[in-house]
A and B are shown apart, each in its own frame.
Chain A
Amino acid sequence: MIDKRFKIANKIFKSRLIVGTGKYKSFSECAKAIKTSGADIVTVAVRRVNISNKNKARLMDYIDPNKITYLPNTAGCFTAEDAIRTLRLAREIGGWKLVKLEVLGDKKNLFPEMIETLRSTELLTKEGFKVMVYCNDDPLMAKRLENAGAVAIMPLAAPIGSGLGIQNKVNIKIIRKQTKLPLIIDAGIGQASDASIAMELGCDGVLINTAIAKAKNPSQMAEAMKLAVISGRKSYLSGRINPNLFGSASTTNKGII
């Protein structure tokens, strides 16, 4: 079965794996992991420049925004106003319109604040941004985000950075059934099998940061995630067998001695 292209806001991307650039030991380790991951989109954050250390290395010196799509996020934002301010600044740095909206509601569990997230989606869409939205795994809220103009629905698998894997497969499947928008699992992936499961549920992509950045060998884990996403996607497209409570012999009894 030939796969359809992975398209977000009318732009085609080669890889269904999106990689975060936070939490790495160094920029060079981050750049190496991104290379082995095969990702062509990376998430980035907007923060103050360190004015007292002018020679400090910059992310853009290691990861070329002309070769890889920077997806600016709104990490650390707790209101729609914060998120909009951050993304306007991101747009000013490089003219990016494709953005990842992430409005959090609680510093401990890092769950998305969905009322503010919905409001931000509406406002940013009106401003011409193409908004990929980090959200909870609630199908009703996913629908509202879609109606508000989101270009991708990105439900969490589990809390950000938790590595717990997909906690509510049923909701992810329901969201898959109801939306034609790109559905991308964002947050909570712990290991390669989690990424495969996400793809087997019918997701269009997976966004991973901590599971790669904090692995003992980030570059190798990045490759594992790449293969897991490809594998899970192929498995999904191939049409799995129906699960059966009882056994079914692989060898015929015909000709048995």
Chain B
Amino acid sequence: MNIKNKIKITVNGKQMQIIPKFTLKSLITKLKMPLNKIAIELNKKIIDKNRISKIRLKKGDKIEIVHFIGGG
């Protein structure tokens, strides 16, 4: 794939480049995130984790992946 064809997305505030039609599931797999320990937001909408293989990412998408950390 030519680099010019890549699209830019933002994941947890950081820019990433992906190939077009890359799914949300592929992104989670690429980042090696354990699905049962995270929650995902796509453009401020919470995503049902059972549906991530059906979601294709688009240019400019903003993804937030969160988990639990220590807190009071």
Residues of A within 8 A of B64 (CB): 48, 89
B contacts with A, residue count (CB < 8 A): 25
Residues of B within 8 A of A58 (CB): 34, 37, 67-68
CB A22 to nearest CB in B, in angstroms, measures: 4
A contacts with B, residue count (CB < 8 A): 36
Q: Given A89-B41, A92-B39, A93-B38, A44–B69 Cβ distance below 8 Å?
A: yes
Contact A89 B71 (CB under 8 A): no
Contact A49 B71 (CB under 8 A): no
Q: Given A49-B65, A60-B37, A54–B70 Cβ distance below 8 Å?
A: no
Q: Given A48-B64, A88-B46, A92-B46, A160–B12 Cβ distance below 8 Å?
A: no
Q: B14 contacts the other chain (Cβ, under 8 Å)?
A: yes
Q: Give a binary string over A79-97; 1 marks a CB under 8 Å from any B CB, 0 the rest.
A: 0000001001110110000
Residues of B within 8 A of A70 (CB): 68
Q: B21 contacts the other chain (Cβ, under 8 Å)?
A: no
- Nearest residue, chain A, Cβ from B13: A48
CB B72 to nearest CB in A, in angstroms, measures: 3
Residues of chain B in range 17-72 having any CB-CB distance to chain A below 8 Å: 31-34, 37-41, 44, 46, 49, 64-72
- Nearest residue, chain B, Cβ from A210: B72
Q: B11 contacts the other chain (Cβ, under 8 Å)?
A: yes
Q: Given A51-B11, A60-B37, A90–B68 Cβ distance below 8 Å?
A: yes
Residues of chain A in range 1-52 having any CB-CB distance to chain B below 8 Å: 20-24, 27, 30, 43-49, 51-52
CB A79 to nearest CB in B, in angstroms, measures: 14
Q: Give a binary string over A84-116; 1 marks a CB under 8 Å from any B CB, 0 the rest.
A: 010011101100000000000000000000000
Alpha-carbon separation in the docked complex, A184 to B19 (Å)? 51
Contact A44 B66 (CB under 8 A): no
Contact A49 B38 (CB under 8 A): yes
Q: A148 contacts the other chain (Cβ, under 8 Å)?
A: no
Contact B72 A73 (CB under 8 A): yes
CB B10 to nearest CB in A, in angstroms, measures: 11
| Contacts A58-B67, A72-B68, A89-B39 known; 14 new A-B pairs at CB < 8 A | A20-B71, A21-B70, A22-B71, A27-B70, A44-B69, A48-B12, A48-B13, A48-B66, A49-B33, A51-B14, A54-B33, A58-B37, A59-B69, A89-B46
Tell me the B residues contacting A by CB distance below 8 Å. 11-14, 31-34, 37-41, 44, 46, 49, 64-72
Can you list 12 contacts pairing A with B, beta carbon distance less than 8 Å? A20-B72, A24-B70, A47-B67, A49-B38, A51-B11, A54-B32, A58-B68, A59-B70, A70-B68, A75-B71, A75-B72, A89-B41
